[in-house]
Chain A
Amino acid sequence: MTREEVLSEIQSRFGDVILDFFDKSAKRVYIELQPRALVPVARHLFAELGARFHIASGMDSRTHLEVLYHFSVEALNLLVSLRVKLDKNDPRVDSLASTIKAAAWIEREMHELLGIQFSGNQDLRRLLLSEEWPAGVYPLRRDYREWDPGAVRDRGV
């Protein structure tokens, strides 16, 4: 399949759940989805097109918590990023871990650093933060404030 055929198939199959289709360059496409449609679109890319799942990235933008799932279709030299925007008060999205096993740990990391809930991921234990880190404090959020009274933030000179 050519690049145009792949992209037009995605648009025709999932047109009703695609919020924004940004064809950035010959190598890069961003597709913004409704959160409920993430799993079917990811499954289409991963299982049917044979795309490679690279990584997901979470981000706290001014209005939303965003998660981007990066796939590459190697035969076409094309990077496809699926973007979902989540409500800051209840950031919740379906887990990809049952569809793509490699997504389980990056979901764990986004869960502990950004506080995003991945429904369906059974293993959202802490991955990187230390044991004494308080629950419910997410260091990569914009509203993160220092919680540790023992922290030293000057260079002592």
Chain B
Amino acid sequence: MSVTMRALLKSPWVFHLSTGSCNNCDIEVLDCLTPRYDIERFGMRLAASIRHADVLLVTGSCNRKSMIRVKRIYEEQVPKPCVVVAIGECAMSRGMFIHSYNCPQPLDRIIPVNVYIPGCPPKPEAIIAGVVKLINKVKASL
């Protein structure tokens, strides 16, 4: 394992990207940062800027306006390697907004997604379990 990957997996910095969610998943993401769940135990920190992030936590069903921004953020601004976690039903399949005129495509048709965490909203435990699984998956693939 290269030094870069070892450093990345020891302390993945997460960036929280809302693409038009109802804020419920966002609140659960914030719950993960509280002392009760405290994902800093796993070395994860919330990055203030997307340019410092290793993991993108994406919530919400992408709409026509945020689609192009998500694409641009992923392709041009996030340093690579970067893994994408889709949090909640909306980010997976758009949930109840699947027939909305403003949500033509699911997230994984716009950018590649590594982990899906289902739920509406998923519990903080589920989010932590998902990210830990992701870390183990990346470790195993190296």
Contact = CB atoms under 8 A, between A and B. Distances in A.
Interface of A: 129-130, 132-133, 139, 144, 146, 148, 150-156
Interface of B: 63-65, 93, 98-99, 101-102, 104-106, 109
Contacts of A133: 64
A130 B102 CA distance: 9
Given A139-B101, A155-B98, 17 more contacts: A129-B64, A130-B64, A130-B65, A139-B102, A144-B101, A146-B101, A150-B104, A150-B105, A151-B105, A152-B104, A152-B105, A152-B106, A153-B98, A153-B99, A155-B93, A156-B93, A156-B106
Contacts of A132: 64
A125 to B, nearest CB: 15
SS of B interface (majority): loop
A136 to B, nearest CB: 14
The 7 A-B pairs with the shortest beta carbon distances in the complex, nearest first, are A151-B104, A130-B64, A139-B101, A155-B93, A130-B65, A152-B105, A148-B104
B20 to A, nearest CB: 12
B99 to A, nearest CB: 6
